[in-house]
A and B are shown apart, each in its own frame.
Chain A
Amino acid sequence: MRRKPGTLLLLEVDILDAGLALRRDGTSSVHGFQLAKAIADRADTRAALTAHGTLYKALSRMEAAGLLTSTWEDPNLAAADGRPRRRLYQVTGAGERALAAWQAQHPKASAPPRPAAGPGPA
């Protein structure tokens, strides 16, 4: 079965939903692990952390489709924290509209994200 143009895969829905939920909580741009953890923390999925290959392939696909934008963070910031530089993603207006359209089509599947049990990634 080929994917219909304009449709979202479930993982893409999860990524957009998690990205927007984190933005509402004050995190405007998020890195890959943060998204994977936010998806795993959702009450309706109770899923394992998304596989590396699956997650980053989806992120690059969504960026190419205009649903996300990404930038490298300031290397000085990463160096000051003593960690690798993060690639930071932001949900675009097109991503928001695509998620809203999907949610309108699947009202039962749209569940509020579950708050994280512990401290989230910085």
Chain B
Amino acid sequence: MTTSDRTTALVLRWVAVYTRSLDPEIAARRQAELASDLWEQCAHARRVGAADSMVALSILRRAVAGVPADLRWRQHQLAVARGRPRWQPRWQLSSTRTRALARTWWLVLAALFIPLYGFGAVGIMNFDTSTDSWWPKLWYTGALGMIVSAVLIAAGILARRWARATGDVLIAIGALPLTVSIAALEDSVLRVVAAATLLVTIVAFLDAADARSLAGRANSARRWLLAAATAAAATVAGLGMARAHAAPVVVLSVMSGITLLAVLAIVGYRHRRRPT
């Protein structure tokens, strides 16, 4: 049994839970539609040769993101069955702009990190033109790591329009350095920012998995681009933090975190289920 088979079974169990005690015909329809949807997604993934782990992540993300709608739908069906007036939500996101923002909130958040990293890099360098030279101070303070992160996020947002998964992974790699150094941060505001970067990293990675589960054969140039971006981010972040006298555990966590994410992403590009 593959990972996507197990995920499919898990989702179908969830469907059985939230359709319990509903009208049998309505429950059966929802269960059958979900069974068909999950089968079609797995079949499509097999046709395009997508990695099984990416398909499983995509299915899991779709299920988890749909839980509030599942519960509202159940509530509505129960209300109708009891003869109560049709249940109406208290509010709906009817504005097109609001709905668009709801769909892309994490990209907006990621875009905010670009100036934040830029200002942060300038701030931590505390550059004095009379005594300081640029290059050593970029290394010494770790500002270069922040600049590389900002560039990776910007490149990811731009690349996403043409290569969604690649753009997502670039964003995730760019957001990761601050995420993995959260334990070393003392400022509460910075901790909030680090938590936001963690959120962006997770969502970007899940979005990349979703894109990989849909896409056809991976472009090897993109794989090399991701590997190069990962190497750049891990090296700059790790060395920069080491030069800034960060604790070894922080340096190691930054480098290993970035590498782990990249390995997962690149594995998603390389290991594919054999089309059947």
Contacts and interface: CB of A to CB of B under 8 A. Distances in A.
Nearest to A53: B66
A9 B102 CA distance: 12
Contacts of B33: 32, 56, 87
Contact of A45 (B30, B32, B103): B103
Interface string A44-64: 011111111111110010000
B242 interface: no
B36 A53 contact: no
A79 interface: no
B62 A52 contact: yes
Contacts of B210: 40, 48-49
A68 to B, nearest CB: 13
Contacts of B68: 53
Contacts of A119: 47-48, 216
B93 interface: yes
Contacts of B103: 10, 45, 47
B34 A52 contact: yes
Give the most central of A7, A10, A31, A36: most B CB within 10 Å: A10
Interface in A63-122: 83-87, 106, 109, 117-122
B5 interface: no
A2 interface: yes
A26 to B, nearest CB: 18
Nearest to B44: A121
A119 B43 CA distance: 12
Give the most central of A4, A36, A56, A60: most B CB within 10 Å: A56
Contacts of A55: 37, 66
B93 A118 contact: no
A30 to B, nearest CB: 11
B272 interface: no
B122 to A, nearest CB: 32
A9 to B, nearest CB: 6
A4 B88 CA distance: 12
Give the most central of B34, B62, B104: most A CB within 10 Å: B62
Given A57-B69, A117-B215, A32 B37 contact: yes
Contact of A117 (B67, B96, B216): B216
B146 interface: no
Nearest to A52: B66
Given A33-B44, A56-B33, A56-B34, A48 B207 contact: yes
B22 to A, nearest CB: 12
Contacts of B213: 49
Interface of A: 1-4, 7, 9-11, 13, 31-34, 36-37, 40-41, 43, 45-57, 60, 83-87, 106, 109, 117-122
Interface of B: 11, 29-30, 32-37, 39-41, 43-44, 47-48, 58, 61-73, 88, 90-96, 99-100, 103-104, 160-161, 164, 206-207, 210-211, 213-216
Given A1-B95, A2-B94, 16 more contacts: A2-B91, A7-B94, A9-B92, A32-B40, A34-B40, A47-B103, A49-B210, A51-B66, A55-B37, A55-B66, A56-B30, A56-B33, A83-B39, A85-B36, A87-B33, A106-B96
